[in-house]
Amino acid sequence: MDPAVGDYDFIIRVIQYLDLRYNIRFFIGSRDFDILYRWWEKRIPETMIRESLDRVVERRRRLKKPLDRFSVFSGEVRRNYQSFLSLGIGRQRTEPDIDRGTFAAFLAGYPPALEFMRKDFEAYSRGLLQGKAPDPEPLRDKLLAHFQDDDELKAKTAWFLKNLAPQLRRPEIERTYRLNYLLGKFAIPPLD
């Protein structure tokens, strides 16, 4: 897992994965948030978490059991992570830097809805190719500002916030959700 991925980014990506892949949505209470936060603290790779979620969803749907909280997934994630560590893989593994080719592929199939940002993404990509670490914050800000009044994004965000425990409904979590939703929707490579 990329150590630069923030806790809210990580948590929201996991929640969005269940929503987008399986249409699974449930109230995220403080216990669920704590489970997700512990996964982030342990730096469990997102691919491992997704694989664990996939297995649990398949198994529970086959058995017709509900999927209504993250504790349902905890055991599978824990077992997979322990296996991962016992093989010694986790101790020496480092995640690669941003794949510069990913941005080239993104630009080659550039989404028309983002035409207003084409030059910004091209400049960002050039910076990556030159080995610089361009600041992604202006891209994030411009993307969020452009889609601020988007009805689909408003509806998704409202649903997400409604399903969070009240103490978790903070502006930074809302911003992170909105940004991750747009990054996923347009297949924008990570801006880290």
Question: What is the pLDDT, as a whole number, of residue 59?
Answer: 92
| 109-121 burial: b if 16+ Cβ within 10 Å, else e | eeeeebeebeeeb
Structure tokens at 72: 């349902």
Phi, then psi, of 131 in degrees rounded to 5:
80, 10
The rounded distance, in Å, linking the Cα atoms of 92 and 94 is 7
| 26-54 burial: b if 16+ Cβ within 10 Å, else e | bebbeebbebbeebbeeebbbebbeebbe
Q: Coil, strand, or helix at residue 28?
A: strand
Place of tokens 């990506």: 13
Question: What is the pLDDT, as a whole number, of residue 4?
Answer: 53
Whether pTM > 0.75 for this model: the answer is: no
Which residue numbers in the chain have pLDDT < 70? 1-5, 85-101, 192
Contact 136, 115 (CB under 8 A): no
| Residue 25 Cα to chain centre, angstroms | 15
The radius of gyration computed from the CA coordinates of the chain, to the nearest angstrom, equals: 18
The rounded distance, in Å, linking the Cα atoms of 135 and 144 is 16
Minimal CA–CA distance to 48: which of 19, 21, 16, 73?
Answer: 73
The rounded distance, in Å, linking the Cα atoms of 26 and 77 is 19
Question: What is the pLDDT, as a whole number, of residue 116?
Answer: 96
